[in-house]
Structures are given as structure tokens and as C-alpha cells.
Amino acid sequence: MKLHHINSNRLELETIYDVIFTNKQLILSEEAILKVEKCRAYLDAKMKTHSAPIYGINTGFGSLCNVKIGEDHLQQLQENLVKSHACGTGEEVPKEIVKLMLLLKIQSISYGHSGAQLATVNRLIDFYNNDLLPVIYTQGSLGASGDLAPLAHLALPLIGLGEVYVDGAKISGAEMLEKFGWEKINLKSKEGLALLNGTQFMSAYGIINLIKSYKLSYLADLIGTVSLEAFDGRVEPFNELIHLIRPHNGQLKTAKRITEFLAGSELIKQDKVHVQDPYSFRCMPQVHGATKDTLDFVAKTLLTEINSVTDNPNIFVEEDTIISGGNFHGQPLALALDYLAIAMAELGSISERRTYQLISGERGLPSFLVANPGLNSGFMIPQYTAASIVSQTKQYCTPSSIDSIVSSNGQEDHVSMGANAATKIKRVVDNITTVLAIELLNASQALHFRDLKTSDLIQSFVNSFRQEVSIVEEDRVLHNDIKTSESFIDNLTVEVGELFG
């Protein structure tokens, strides 16, 4: 059994990628156990000697923060919080994101500033290790007292409520407890807030789709290079000299990568009749590179977030103080996720333009990349599909982070709407996957009409694709080919060094 120890070591994208895709089990380190227990013991002792109101521990929540709650009602207060905040609606959150939410919530609590019981943390680890995935919904979070509604649904099964997926079947929280022979967790003071405050919904959406974005960034370079070869493009725009005098990191990396993809190609070396290529080919280093630089900025923001404590109030044992602040506010994530959406949309935008150029009957390619155009429509309509998706993606890029609605009777008067930015980035990334799948479908078809050889790397890539999608000799239902092309992209494995290096 492969284990990942929850401790104070920084989570990196490579770590998360490894934990998720090698199905590692979680275990608390001795360091984390000590921190959790020490924080809980401190809070229990504080509650015995401290009679004044402490927000969220012996008071109501939000605009009810001035209502003091008696000691004999503190457990009910925390359970009521979880139940009353489980107001999610919309679609169910994908299981891979729910599982990452569990990991990120466990990580945040393990720092020992949240006041959760060790039993609560261990039960969350049990959920993760046994693939017990609470049913969570996409709508309901304002991204500013944390992701209250989604995290409430994450927490419900702890107290025997809500629904959980077990072995692919949806059962109630009560049935889950019975199935595993568990008692429900009796939440202590502050624990409801520890579970519900936090940015794990936004962060999990962000991390999963950032990792996918890194993969799509790599594939945009590779598929774009297939298109360049199929279009009989020129190599000069990728010469390192022009990029060294405008040395954006992403631009340099893209030009270098495309040059490596082209190594050994006869096609790229042949004499060209045309002096220049359209921008969608010539400016791949500049456009794809700008997206790469954005991914690195977003990664910095997300990694800071997932290695942080984001609930409220925060408990500082050594300093003997409890501080109510606003670490749950999702503004950094909202801005970063909006930026990520825009950057990924541009990969789709330039990809669709390359597809358009390939079907236009230029540079010796047949119109719509098919024999007998007219009788056959060939690849005319996949470009329509790509264009419609690109347009929809632009609409998804309307920023969420500039919006705010007053909530909680005016107490929570500025919110981030980062949760909306988070669910939108998934739609954007899904759309870009389809647009690149359509480009690959067109580029591989166009390359079929070239007599000279491309590079070994590109030919190997296209040969792998050909095992899934055959050459289109005459009109057929291309929906099936597009879906197969999407699956091909989804199932491709890219080395971690290529993803994040």
C-alpha cells in the first residue's frame, strides 16, 4: 500500500498529481497528530475558563455573531450549523474534485489552528481512503465565508446525514455509518466552522483544472505542430534568436518545444513558396507562451492557498490567543481562476483558427480535407463546432471576481464569487479539450495529403491517433470521431517533467 503522510511539508502540484493518480492512501504524521490534539486540548481548556463570547465557538454565526450560546448547547450549535448550511443545488460535483476537497480539508485542519478533534480528522481520512465521496453540489457558495454550502455537504456524513457514493452507489450518511460500523462524530465547539469555513471547493476545482490545463498546454504545442506540418508551415518563427530578444519564459519554452517536435522533419525543411504563415501558426510561441506564464502565476496562487489555514476563527496555542479574521475570503482564487479561464480560452481561439486554415483549400490541401469536395462536405462542419465552442468559452470568461452580492444581513458585505469562477474553469477546460480534439482530427487528416515525412515524434503521435480514428475517405458521422479524439486526449499520459517543468 502506498501512503502519503499528512504533515507540514508543502503540497506541490507534483505531490498532488502523484497522490491522486497512484491512488495513495492518507495517514496523519506524528507531527500532525500532535498539532491537532494540542489545539483541541487548548480550546477545551479555554472553554472552561473563558466566559466572554468568542465568535463561532460560543456565539451564533454571520450576522448572529453577537448571540452568545450556552455551554450545554455547543454541540447542537455545531450540528445545526452543518445542517442549516447544506443548501447546495445544481449538478453534482465530479468525484475527482470531491476526493481532492477531502485531501485539502484534511491538510488545512492538520496545521493545528482549527480546533478539530483528532477523531474528526481521522474520519475524513477514512472517507478518502475508502473512496466514500459525499454528494456535493456545484451551486451555493459565494466564495467568501469559505465555501459554506459545498463544505456543509462534505461534512454531513460525519454526523450521519447527507448522501455518499460507496462503490459507485449512492447511499445515505446513516447507511454509510451502519455499513462500516461507525458512530457519528459528536462535533465539539468550533468544529462546524472548522469544517465549513475554508476554500477547499474553489481550490479543488482550481487544482484539478490547473493540472489539466498544463496537459492541454503541452498538447496545444504538439497538436499545433502537427497543424504546422500539415499546412506546410515555416520553421523560422521558432528560431531561438527572436525569442531571446523578447524573453518571456513561456514564449521561450514554446518555441524550444516546437523546435524539438520538428527535429528530423523533411516537411519543415522543404523549400517554401510562401514567405510567411498566418499568425495562428507563426505566433504560437507568443500566444501559447502567454498561457504558460499565466499557468505558472495561477499555480503560485493555488499552491499558497492549499498550504494555508483558511477557516475562522484561528487558534494560536503558543500565543494563547484566538483571532477572528477573514482567511476564508476567496478573492485571490477568484482572480486567479478568472485569469486561468481567459488564458485557456486563448488556446482554444488560436486552435480554431488553425483548423480554419487547414480546411480552406490552401497550400495544396483539398477543400475541407476530403476527396470529391461537393459530393462530400468533409471537415466543413467540425470547424463550425469548434467556432461555436470558442464563442461559448468567451462568454464563460466574463469575470466572476468583479461581482459581489451582500449576504448575511449585511455582515458579509463583500464576497468573491470565486466558486462561480471555479465551476466555470471546468467548463472552459472541457471546451478547450474539445477544440483541440477537433484540431487534431483536422491536422492528422491534412498531414495524410503530404508526401514528405514529418518528424519521428510527430509521426508516432499521429500513428497512435490513427489507431483510434481512421482517415476520412468519404462523409461519415464525425460526431463519433470528435468524441473518440476527445477520449484520446483525455487518456494520453504526459510525463510530469513535461507537465510542470
Model pLDDT for residues 265-309, shown as the tens digit of each residue: 999 999 999 999 999 999 999 999 999 999 999 999 999 999 999
Q: What is the reported pLDDT for 8?
A: 85
Q: What is the pLDDT of residue 498?
A: 87
β-pairing verdict for 25-28 and 3-6:
parallel
pLDDT band at 65 (very low <50, low <70, confident <90, very high): low
CATH topology of domain 205-310+322-500: Fumarase C; Chain A, domain 2 (1.20.200)
User: Would you say 455 and 230 are in contact if contact means Cβ atoms under 8 Å apart?
Assistant: no
pLDDT category at 407 given cuts 50, 70, 90 is: confident
Neighbouring C-beta atoms of residue 481, cutoff 10 Å: 20
d(CA 45, CA 440): 63
Residues in the chain: 501
Task: Look at residues 317, 324, 321 and name the one whose alpha carbon lies nearest to residue 50.
Answer: 321
- pLDDT of 211 > 70? The answer is yes
Residue 71's pLDDT is 66
Catalytic positions, written as ranges: 55
Question: What are the grid coordinates assigned to 17, written together?
Answer: 498529481
Q: Which has the minimum average pLDDT: 150-154, 320-324, 455-459?
A: 320-324
Least confident of 126-140, 275-289, 372-386, 438-452: 372-386
DSSP SS3 for 472: coil
Contact (Cβ atoms closer than 8 angstroms) between residue 227 and residue 438: no
- Which CA distances in Å does 92 have to 30, 174, 198, 200, 397? 35, 20, 19, 16, 22
DSSP string, 122-180: HHHHHHHHTT-EE--EEE---SSSSSHHHHHHHHGGGGT-SEEEETTEEEEHHHHHHHH
* Residue 63: pLDDT over 60: no
pLDDT at residue 373 in the model: 83
Domain boundaries, the chain: 3-198, 205-310+322-500
What local confidence, expressed as pLDDT, does residue 133 receive?
Answer: 98
pLDDT for 56 equals 65
Q: How confident is the model at residue 411 (pLDDT cuts 50, 70, 90)?
A: confident
Kindly state the helix (H) or strand (E) to which residue 393 belongs, with its residue range: helix 380-396
**pLDDT confidence band for 67 (50 / 70 / 90):** low
Instruction: Report DSSP state, residue 185.
Output: P
pLDDT at 137: 98
pLDDT at 391: 98
* Mean pLDDT taken over the chain: 94
Tell me how far apart the terminal alpha carbons of the chain are, to the nearest angstrom.
28
Partners of 6 in the beta sheet?
A: 28
Confidence bin at 488 (pLDDT 50/70/90): very high
Whether the pLDDT of residue 156 is over 70: the answer is yes
Residues of the chain with pLDDT > 90: what percent? Answer: 84
In the predicted model, is pLDDT for residue 263 greater than 90? yes
Q: Sorting pLDDT into bands at 50, 70 and 90, what band is 396? A: very high
* Region of poorest pLDDT, from 69-73, 297-301, 350-354: 69-73
Mean pLDDT of 310-334: 94
181 pLDDT higher than 80: yes
pLDDT at 272 (0 to 100)? 93
| 78-99 pLDDT tens trace | 899 999 999 999 999 999 999 9
Q: What is the pLDDT of residue 372?
A: 84
The CATH number of 3-198, from 3.30.1330.10, 3.65.10.10, 1.10.275.10, 1.20.120.790, is 1.10.275.10
